[in-house]
Structure 1
Amino acid sequence: MTTASSTRCASKTSLRWEQARAHSRRCIHDAAATVFAEDGFESATMKRIAEVCGVTKVTLYAHYRDKERLYRSVMDDHLALMPSGELDMQGVADLGDALRRISDGIRRLAADSSCRAFCRTLSRSSLASDSYSAHWNAMLEPYLTRAQAAFDKASAHPTTTADSERFLRLVLTEHGLPQGARPVSRSDATVALFVRAYAAPP
């Protein structure tokens, strides 16, 4: 075999090995995402992840040193794939129109598979809950800001962030998403919200 042939053969072998390694890593990542979403971090085991993927624990540990690293890789991947919270608020007609656009944005977020997997895993895990809850709150911030601006613009009376928080919480709950770490607003804020949204001005 010539030197050139040997080099080509070695290159093909190396490429196949890299492709097999990348495939195994992707399989492990996908299996971990499934297991973490079903069981949460604390109840998930590396043994079960290996079984779901169809690899040995030795192979699993060759790719990910420990369960926490694998969990963080999965959660960070979900975050990277989630849609942004940007909303088109140009030409908003009134408060109802603004709130519908915000609600539609939350609906699109809830329909995203990465968002659903992230939220499901977050709700079942306490590991780094502060860190990933902070990420989730950052995802919700544009919606909250838009809602507050809509209430401020529409109301003849001073509004508070409790109005926009309550609205956002109701929409998130409707779509089965976590409401974030903000304190729950008082029930009178809910009443005020619906009065402002639906009652005819005096």
Structure 2
Amino acid sequence: MSRRWILDAAGAVFAEDGFESATMKRIAEACDVSKVTIYAHYRDKAQLYGAVMDSHLASLPVAGLHMHGTLDLGDALMRINDGIGRLAANPSCQAFCRTLSRSDHARAVYMEHWRAVLQPYFDLAEQAMATASAGSLHSSDSEKFLRLILAEHGLPNRATPMSGSHATVALFVRAYAQRPSDAWQAPPERG
């Protein structure tokens, strides 16, 4: 019985049940071994959970995002979207996020790891928006954009508190203000 086999089976159980509801007995059954065999490799459920989550994190694709000089805002935002899409399609990311959403154990620790995974995407969004903005940049526009993209791909959002919906309004106003003299007009009232 290899550790990898145990990690894979435990990962499936944790993803389905979460840390709190998963049992070493159920994990052993999923591995088709005894609990003694599991305990021979991992002293307790918390250590096994940590090994599973660390394994998921180690298997995530690296962002590899850079502005590369003349990249415009649209290109940068599409690069972020594509990178988040690849992340969301990764089986380790899917398992990590499912497990994290179903578990309270060490949530703060693993949310911090998740924030570190997302940091390159946030940095590129911030850099691209700062480069594209002729006026003042609202400090949370890039984070709001990333939150929207993460939600679109079904991934957990960053846990950092944000300023609120006015950042979303500012983002879209700034984006549409650059359209040539298409002043927004309210639709005519019905009736």
Output the TM-score relative to the length of structure 2: 0.88
SS in structure 1 of the partner of residue 40 of structure 2 = helix
Find the counterpart in structure 2 of residue 176 from structure 1: 154
Q: CA deviation at 1:110?
A: 0.7
Q: CA deviation at 1:188?
A: 1.2
Find the counterpart in structure 1 of residue 52 from structure 2: 74
Q: CA deviation at 1:171?
A: 0.1
**Alignment partner of 1:44 out of 3, 7, 22:** 22
1:99-110 equivalent positions in 2, closer than 5 A: 99-110=77-88
Cα shift readout 1:32-71 (whole Å, capped 9, x = no counterpart): 0000001111111001101111111111111211100100
Superposed CA RMSD: 1.5
1:192 counterpart letter in structure 2: A
Cα shift readout 1:53-94 (whole Å, capped 9, x = no counterpart): 111111111121110010000000111111112214325442
Kindly indicate which of the two structures has a greater share of residues assigned to helix.
1
- Rg: which structure is higher? 1
Report if aligned partners of 1:165, 1:185 keep a CA contact under 8 Å in 2. Answer: no
Q: 4+ runs of 1 displaced by more than 3 Å?
A: none
1:136 counterpart letter in structure 2: W
Taking only the aligned residue pairs, the percentage that are identical comes to 63
Gaps of 5+ in 2: 182-191
Q: CA deviation at 1:160?
A: 2.7
2:48 counterpart letter in structure 1: L
Find the counterpart in structure 2 of residue 30 from structure 1: 8
Cα shift readout 1:107-149 (whole Å, capped 9, x = no counterpart): 1111111111111111111111111111000111111111011
In the alignment of these two chains, the number of paired residues is 180
1:36 counterpart letter in structure 2: F
Return the alpha-carbon distance in structure 2 between the equivalents of residues 88 and 176 of structure 1: 24
1:168 counterpart letter in structure 2: L
Whether 2:93 is the aligned partner of 1:115: answer yes
Cα shift readout 1:10-35 (whole Å, capped 9, x = no counterpart): xxxxxxxxxxx43xx22211110000
Q: CA deviation at 1:199?
A: 3.4
Find the counterpart in structure 2 of residue 144 from structure 1: 122
Return the alpha-carbon distance in structure 2 between the equivalents of residues 161 and 46 of structure 1: 46
Output the TM-score relative to the length of structure 1: 0.84
> Which piece of structure 1 moves more, 171-180 or 51-60?
51-60
SS in structure 1 of the partner of residue 140 of structure 2 = helix
